[in-house]
Amino acid sequence: MALGFVVLLTVLVVCIGLVATCAACLDRTMLGRTMADYDRRFVEIVPYLGVTALFFLGKRATHGHTLRISKALDWDLTAEIYAVEGEFVAWLQTITPQQTLEFFSAMYMFGFPYLLVTAPILYYLLPSQRYLKELLVSYLLNYFIGTLFYTLFIVYGPRNHLSSVDGLMYSFYPQTQEVTAAVSANTNVFPSLHTSLTVVVVLLAWRSRREYPRWFPIASFVGACVVFSTMYLGIHWLIDVVAGVVLGVGAVFAAERIVARAEGDAGPVPASDEREDGAPSDPSD
């Protein structure tokens, strides 16, 4: 019952955030253009959606096997990470005001899926689907590499390894533990996919700032809060976050080149420069 309630609440919050973001970022003509050009856009993006769907179906089907392989290998890096990093997360919890707990818990639970869902919808509404293709490939690269690391290495988060670190969100809102347990094992820590996927969204928001000037500051603020929350809530080590940043940047860099090779073109056409029919854009639009 608690799991269903949290999932429903997450969907509701994400939908509210999505609608508010679209209201802030979209001009009045974009939805109409998308509806008029739905078939072409869908046909253009469907191979990327198909590969993405197949990957996640395969990932779901092999989840139990990867856990068994990880336990059989038993390469636990938790002590090594602690030896390098020490009590950073414990220190971070002590200097962060307790009054921010509810805010950062909400950012971790709701801000992260909000970023992952809002970004592809915004990019689908652009005349060029290039950003959406790069985003989907970046997502795939993140989950593929993250799954590989989670299979090879066991790492327990600070809240599970240190008595000085409190699992704040789970103490404050224990129902959320059912959701995280349903989608991830407690050894899926290094690298932080919350961080890497957030970095992907923020980097693409920066690259698309000409098309969506308001999206970049929104994504940057929410993204910074999500990344901070992973450590403040005792879920990830600082080293996990650093590795996540490297993974996110590398995924965007690789996705740009993969899509460029697949599409054989120079990049996305800025929405402000060209209409879908090739005519110059009217500034009054």
User: Residues 124-166: pLDDT tens digits?
Assistant: 888 888 999 999 999 999 999 999 999 898 888 888 777 767 6
Please give the average per-residue pLDDT across 210-233, as a whole number. 94
- Predicted TM-score (pTM) of the model is 0.85
Share of the chain above pLDDT 70, in %: 82
Give the position of tokens 């402000």: 272
Please give the average per-residue pLDDT across 242-258, as a whole number. 95
Determine the pLDDT at residue 173.
Answer: 60
Confidence band of 72 (pLDDT split at 50, 70, 90): confident
Read off φ and ψ for residue 51, nearest 5 degrees.
Answer: -65, -40
User: What is the secondary structure of 107-128 as a DSSP string?
Assistant: IIIIIHHHHHHHHHHHHHTSS-
Determine the pLDDT at residue 212.
Answer: 92
**Which amino acid is it at 14?**
V
CA atoms lying within 13 Å on the CB side of residue 266: 2
Determine the pLDDT at residue 66.
Answer: 82
Q: Residue-wise over 122-132: b if at least 16 C-beta within 10 A, else e?
A: bbbbbbbbbbb
On the question of pLDDT at 273 being above 50, the answer is no
- The CA-atom distances, in angstroms, between 145 and each of 86, 171, 190, 255 are 26, 31, 11, 13
On the question of pLDDT at 275 being above 60, the answer is no
Q: How many residues does the chain have?
A: 285
